[in-house]
Amino acid sequence: MIRSYAATAKKSILTPFEFTLPPLTDVDVVIAVKYCALCHSDIHLIDGDWGIAKYPLVPGHEIIGQIVQIGNKVAGFSEGQWVGVGWQSGSCGQCAPCTHGMEHLCVTGKKRTCVNGFGGLSEKVVIDSRFVYAIPDGFELISAAPLMCAGLTVFSPLERLLLSDVQRVGVIGIGGLGHLAVQMAKAMGAEVYAFDSVSEKAKSAEVLGAIPLHDPKSAPPMNLILSTSSAQLDWNFWMERLDFNGVFCLVGYPPGDVAVANDHLLDGQKSITGSVIGSPATMRHMLQFCLRHSIRPHIETMPFSRVNEALDRVRAGKVNFRMVLENDWK
Ligand SMILES: [Zn+2]
Ligand SMILES: [Zn+2]
């Protein structure tokens, strides 16, 4: 039996839970989990916010571990190899996005690590090897964990939307995602501005290379604004912060719908888009990019056995950017 920590009902605390691993298919690998970071999506799943969670639910989708078993048709992985797993654990492979290398947009068979199976707060996970990523040599394993979801989520839109290295990028919300976005945009050559309603958080982005702005009104026109915030946003205020042709991209999920004055879209030729995780190819690119530019998440660590305390810290917004849990089962 595999030991894990699970929520047994909506909003419950996590309690020890044992399960049998699903059978290994030809394309799967079994990973012995070493680290699993906590993401806000785990809390949304535990709390049943999105209506997609099934209980018992084993959260965790920023997983780092070692391959201990390999399916018959798995290519490119070996036993003992250190790998990572993120939010997505499968796709149909046949729809238009899948056949265009955009598996994260799969329309008919998207699988999520801790929704369609048991997640990373367990001893072992079984994952389709097409959604398993080799951790490059020289990368500290513990630092790779938050890149699996938070890192990919901000790298993917920066890679797609940052069109030149002389652009100005604004990052709204300097937390687990935002502090990585600042480092990545900076490494891509952009001038980066950090906005956070908590001034210490905006200030902390200064050491990461951003210009902290508690009052965004003083910002010069931005070419790209990336919002990692899930708070209510004043859409027109932020559209006014964009330069002509500027793009506002949502990666956080604020309440309600987007509504902006038509003039921003017409006269300023500005646009609004969104982004959710990223493709397997982007994940591999992101890991190499972070290795080359020495981009690392700022983390706190706790053992798996203190997961409820760790979740409380995440809920309270007290974590120093990202909480990574370490497997402490004997
Ligand atoms: Zn598909
Ligand atoms: Zn996540």
Question: What are the pLDDT digits (tens) for 68-92?
Answer: 999 999 999 999 999 999 999 999 9
Residue type, 263: D
- Rounded distance from Cα 37 to ligand 2 centre (Å): 9
Give the start-to-end residue ranges of the domains of the chain: 2-146+280-326, 151-274
- Rounded distance from Cα 90 to ligand 1 centre (Å): 9
Shortest-distance ligand to the CA of residue 176: 2
The C-alpha atoms of residue 287 and residue 273 are separated, in whole angstroms, by 24
114: left (phi > 0), else alpha (psi -120 to 50), else beta? alpha
Asked whether residue 166 carries a pLDDT value surpassing 80, the answer given is no
The residue written with tokens 């492979």 in the block is 93
| Percent of the chain as helix, strand, coil, to the nearest 5 | 30, 30, 45
- Rounded distance from Cα 266 to ligand 2 centre (Å): 34
Residue 326: pLDDT band (50, 70, 90) is: very high
Give me 150's structure tokens.
């938070």
Residue 212: pLDDT band (50, 70, 90) is: confident
Helices (H), 139-225: 141-144, 150-161, 178-187, 199-204
What is the DSSP-derived secondary structure letter of residue 44? H
Q: Please give the pLDDT value at position 198.
A: 84
Shortest-distance ligand to the CA of residue 91: 1
Give me 48's structure tokens.
């049943």
Asked whether residue 214 carries a pLDDT value surpassing 90, the answer given is no
**Per-residue model confidence as pLDDT tens digits over 7-22:** 999 999 999 999 999 9
- Rounded distance from Cα 89 to ligand 1 centre (Å): 12
Q: Number of C-alpha atoms within 13 angstroms, CB side, residue 46?
A: 26
Q: Please give the pLDDT value at position 4.
A: 98
The C-alpha atoms of residue 36 and residue 262 are separated, in whole angstroms, by 44
Q: How far is CA 275 from CA 64, 135, 215, 328, in A?
A: 24, 24, 26, 35
- Rounded distance from Cα 309 to ligand 2 centre (Å): 19
CATH number of 151-274: 3.40.50.720
| pTM (2 d.p.) | 0.96
Shortest-distance ligand to the CA of residue 99: 1
The C-alpha atoms of residue 328 and residue 330 are separated, in whole angstroms, by 6
Report CA torsion sign: 274, 251, 238, 193: negative
Q: Do strands 271-274 and 63-70 pair parallel, antiparallel, or not at all (unpaired)?
A: unpaired
Q: Please give the pLDDT value at position 200.
A: 84
**Per-residue model confidence as pLDDT tens digits over 86-127:** 999 999 999 999 999 999 999 999 999 999 999 999 999 999
Q: Which superfamily does 2-146+280-326 belong to? A: Medium-chain alcohol dehydrogenases, catalytic domain (3.90.180.10)
Q: Do domains 2-146+280-326 and 151-274 have the same CATH topology?
A: no
Which of 9-23, 170-184, 251-265 has the lowest average pLDDT?
A: 251-265
- Rounded distance from Cα 130 to ligand 2 centre (Å): 18
What is the DSSP-derived secondary structure letter of residue 136? P
Q: Please give the pLDDT value at position 5.
A: 98
- Rounded distance from Cα 257 to ligand 2 centre (Å): 22
Could you tell me what percent of the chain has a pLDDT over 90? Answer: 89
Nearest to 294 by CA among 215, 221, 213, 187: 187
- Rounded distance from Cα 261 to ligand 2 centre (Å): 32
- Rounded distance from Cα 39 to ligand 2 centre (Å): 5
Provide mean pLDDT across the span 164-179. 92
The C-alpha atoms of residue 88 and residue 100 are separated, in whole angstroms, by 17
Label residue 135 exposed, middle or buried (CB < 10 Å: 0-12, 13-18, 19+): buried
